[in-house]
């Protein structure tokens, strides 16, 4: 094993919460409202239900191979060479995912916060922090997540306390006014991001101290993250309305600008920015760490620290050339990413699970 550190079950829960919220907290409400209109929150709920089914699939697979990473049991089930090929494809998937997450961050900062700052500088600065976070291994940055989760929950709590003064219940009526079809259509991109991306945790599960409560921990973490996405989608509709939510690139950031308590507490968008910087940091860190670890496992390396800098430099370039503009990204995220992520987040894990079950049955019959 390349990774020597171990993490607790509750730490794993925290990682899944932060990963699930990730970049979706800023961009998901817009896509949901575009198709589902005032029923965006129902679409978010449907996405969560599908996400929990995916968690059951992933845990059913990972739980059969305690102490082994995704790459290891790919080789066991598919043979050395085919398994290594599939493992390398997973490296590409995790690496591309990390590049897209980094680009989301850069676009937000350069369009909403520091408009005169070059995109490249933002990427270099943030990725440097990520590399500093993972250079001492999984255990170090996982413990850091315990420090930041209370701040994320506090920021959410403050938003939900301050926003009711801006709520208009008429914005969410009529419920199911356009039927179920738009809701299903709106939930599909949300299933692609973040729920199908949870396959990344198959590279982290082997390093958890106790696996007895792992399945419950996985479900609880994704459920909490999913509920927070539902709430932010609901408040976006209740405060901004479905039309304004749909046309905003970052509706939840605009939502925070609506906070107004008297004449002394206004425009607390820094709250939403604070939540997003924390959650996207951990999502990017997990993706980049999993990509590096996968690369090391495929090529049987004993140490992966030396990969952080060269892979980081490649990641910065890839994040800039990944898509030329926001319009291209929106089309990619809604039309292409689902099928791409479904291949790695559902199809391949399902194939691996079926092979594992057939082998176990064959072994029982042979005895």
* Element spanning 35, H or E: helix 24-36
DSSP-assigned beta bridge partners for residue 366: none
Q: How many CB atoms lie within 10 A of CB 37?
A: 22
∠ CA(129), CA(152), CA(22), 5° rounding?
A: 60
Q: Who contacts 358 (Cβ-Cβ below 8 Å, separation ≥6)?
A: none
Residues listed for the chain: 367
Coil, helix or strand at residue 8: coil
pLDDT score recorded for residue 210: 77
CA distance 112 to 273: 10
Query: Percent helix, strand and coil across the chain, each rounded to 5?
Result: 80, 0, 20
- Mean pLDDT is lowest, of 110-124, 222-236, 261-275, for 261-275
Does the pLDDT at position 260 exceed 90? no
- Per-residue pLDDT, averaged over 266-291, amounts to 86
Q: Which of 17, 72, 75 is nearest to 202 (CA)?
A: 72
pLDDT score recorded for residue 9: 93
Q: Is 213 exposed, middle or buried (0-12, 13-18, 19+ CB in 10 A)?
A: middle
Specify the higher pLDDT residue, 258 or 260: 258
The pLDDT tens digits for 66-114 are 889 999 999 999 989 999 999 999 999 999 999 999 998 888 888 888 8
Does the pLDDT at position 118 exceed 70? yes
Specify the higher pLDDT residue, 336 or 42: 42
The pLDDT tens digits for 133-184 are 898 888 888 999 999 999 898 888 888 887 777 788 898 888 888 889 999 9
The most distant pair of C-alpha atoms in the chain lies apart, rounded to whole Å, by 77
Does the pLDDT at position 274 exceed 90? no
Q: Who contacts 333 (Cβ-Cβ below 8 Å, separation ≥6)?
A: 31, 189, 192, 193
CA distance 191 to 44: 9
pLDDT score recorded for residue 286: 96
């Amino acid at each position: 094993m390349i990774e020597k550190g171990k993490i607790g079950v509750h730490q794993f829960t925290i990682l899944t919460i932060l990963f699930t919220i990730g970049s979706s907290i800023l961009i998901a409400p817009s896509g949901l409202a575009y198709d589902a209109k005032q029923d965006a929150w129902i679409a978010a709920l449907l996405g969560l239900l599908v996400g929990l089914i995916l968690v059951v699939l992933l845990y059913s697979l990972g739980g059969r191979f305690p102490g082994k990473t995704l790459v290891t049991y790919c080789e066991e089930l598919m043979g050395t060479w085919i398994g290594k090929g599939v493992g390398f494809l997973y490296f590409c998937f995790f690496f591309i995912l990390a590049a897209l997450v980094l680009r989301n961050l850069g676009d937000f900062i350069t369009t909403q916060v520091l408009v005169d700052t070059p995109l490249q500088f933002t990427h270099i600065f943030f990725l440097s922090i990520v590399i500093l976070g993972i250079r001492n291994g999984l255990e170090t940055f996982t413990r850091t997540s315990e420090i930041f989760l209370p701040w994320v929950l506090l920021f959410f709590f403050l938003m939900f306390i301050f926003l009711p003064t801006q709520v208009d219940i008429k914005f969410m009526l009529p419920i199911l006014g356009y039927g179920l079809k738009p809701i299903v259509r709106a939930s599909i991109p949300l299933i692609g991001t973040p729920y199908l991306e949870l396959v990344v945790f198959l590279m982290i599960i082997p390093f958890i101290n106790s696996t007895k409560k792992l399945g419950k921990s996985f479900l609880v973490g994704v459920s909490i993250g999913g509920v927070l996405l539902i709430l932010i989608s609901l408040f976006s509709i209740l405060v901004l309305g479905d039309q304004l939510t749909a046309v905003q690139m970052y509706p939840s950031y605009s939502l925070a600008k609506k906070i107004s308590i008297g004449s002394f507490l206004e425009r607390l968008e820094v709250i939403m920015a604070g939540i997003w910087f924390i959650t996207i940091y951990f999502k990017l860190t997990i993706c980049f760490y999993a990509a590096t670890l996968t690369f090391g496992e495929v090529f049987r390396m004993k140490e992966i620290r030396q990969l952080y800098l060269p892979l980081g430099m490649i990641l910065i370039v890839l994040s800039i050339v990944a898509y030329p503009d926001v319009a291209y990204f929106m089309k990619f995220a809604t039309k292409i990413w689902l099928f791409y992520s479904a291949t790695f987040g559902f199809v391949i894990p399902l194939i691996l699970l079926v092979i594992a079950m057939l082998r176990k049955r064959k072994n029982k019959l042979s005895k």
